[in-house]
Every structure is written in structure tokens, then in C-alpha cells.
């Protein structure tokens, strides 16, 4: 089932070499759910970390819902992600071995549930980013030549 994207991390695909993606549930308050349904959030600069055999979404911003009590609300609080113990053990072993990172790609609405799409990948070096851009430009130029010839 394809979900409706509420918030996305647009730079993640250009900053990281993504090998695998998976979905995780997220623990939210009612006001945060309503705010996300209005697409009032950002994943820029956020990341996923394994702490004490649990997954946490750190530094993701969910703006306060305008009709809720906002006196003690922290928009960038750490939020727990819900995955199985088996997935956490696989991720922690891979993270130790291969120097990988866990990056949130998007927050999606799947049915009545809000899920976070998390990517497993490694950070790209500057020269690798330049190579990708160069290859993309060459492919675009080639397609343009074929189209007009």
C-alpha cells in the first residue's frame, strides 16, 4: 500500500548512498498528528539513532498545532520509532561493521497510521556527489540529442 507523503527530506538522496529502506512507526501526541496531517514539519538535519536497543528520531521538527496548548511543547524533541527487536539487532550490527547511517527519508500516512520511511546508507564524499551530477548531466544531454536527431 502506497502512503501519502506528509513531510520529506529532499536532500537525503543526494547526500547519502542508500542501500535499503524500511518503515517504522512513530510515537506522537495527538496535536503532533494533527500538525503533520497539515504538513507542518521538517526532516532537515534529522537522523535516526539506536540508543539502548531502541530506535529514536532525533532533531525532526514538527511545528506546534495552532489549536492545541503550546506552553510546554518542544518542536524538536526526540521521538521513539517502533520496529521489531530483530530489525534493531540487524541495524545495530550493520552500523558497527560497515560505517552506515540511518536517515529519515519521509513521514507518510499509510491508512490511519503515520510511518517514518528510514534509509540505510553511507554518506557520500564531495567527489562522489560531483560524479553523480556529471553522469546525470551526460545522460540528459544524450537523451536530448537522441530526441532531436
Q: List pLDDT tens digits, range 64-73.
A: 888 887 778 8
Q: Which pLDDT band holds residue 4 (cuts at 50, 70, 90)?
A: confident
Q: What does the pLDDT read at residue 3?
A: 74
Q: What is the 3-state secondary structure (H, E, C) of 23-47?
A: EEEECCCHHHHHHHHCCCEECCCCE
Q: What does the pLDDT read at residue 58?
A: 94
Q: What does the pLDDT read at residue 1?
A: 52
Cell of 5: 507523503
Q: For the residues 43-49, what does the mean pLDDT come to?
A: 90
Q: What does the pLDDT read at residue 67?
A: 85
> Which 8-state DSSP code applies to residue 59?
S
Average pLDDT value over all residues in the chain: 88
Q: For the residues 140-145, what does the mean pLDDT come to?
A: 92
Global confidence as pTM: 0.82
Greater pLDDT, 70 or 132: 132
Interatomic CA distance for residues 41 and 58, integer angstroms: 13
Greater pLDDT, 8 or 99: 8
Q: What angle do CA 12, 17, 21 make, to 5 degrees?
A: 75
CATH code of 4-123, in short, is 2.40.280.10
Q: What is the 3-state secondary structure (H, E, C) of 64-104?
A: CCCCCCCCCCCCCCCEEEECCHHHHHHHHHHHHHHCCEEEE
Q: What does the pLDDT read at residue 2?
A: 65
Q: List pLDDT tens digits, range 89-112.
A: 888 888 777 778 899 999 999 988
**How distant, in Å, are the alpha carbons of 71, 87, 91, 99, 122 from that of 22?**
34, 10, 11, 18, 15
Q: What are the strands, taking DSSP E only, across the chain?
A: 4-8, 16-26, 41-42, 47-51, 54-58, 61-62, 79-82, 101-110, 113-123
Among 38, 14, 49, CA closest to 107: 38
Q: What does the pLDDT read at residue 19?
A: 87
Give residue limits of the domains in the chain.
4-123
Amino acid at each position: 500500500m502506497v502512503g501519502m507523503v506528509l513531510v520529506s527530506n529532499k536532500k537525503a538522496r543526494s547526500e547519502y548512498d542508500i542501500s535499503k529502506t524500511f518503515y517504522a512507526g512513530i510515537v506522537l501526541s495527538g496535536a503532533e498528528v494533527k500538525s503533520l496531517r497539515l504538513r507542518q514539519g521538517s526532516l532537515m538535519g534529522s537522523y535516526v539513532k539506536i540508543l539502548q536497543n531502541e530506535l529514536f528520531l532525533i532533531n525532526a521538527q514538527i511545528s506546534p498545532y495552532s489549536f492545541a496548548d503550546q506552553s510546554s511543547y518542544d518542536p524538536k524533541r526526540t521521538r521513539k520509532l517502533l520496529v521489531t527487536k530483530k530489525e534493531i539487532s540487524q541495524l545495530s550490527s550493520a552500523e558497527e561493521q560497515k560505517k552506515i547511517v540511518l536517515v529519515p527519508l519521509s513521514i507518510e500516512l499509510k491508512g490511519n497510521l503515520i510511518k517514518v520511511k528510514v534509509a540505510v546508507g553511507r554518506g557520500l564524499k564531495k567527489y562522489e556527489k560531483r560524479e553523480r551530477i556529471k553522469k546525470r548531466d551526460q545522460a540528459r544531454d544524450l537523451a536530448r540529442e537522441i530526441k532531436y536527431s
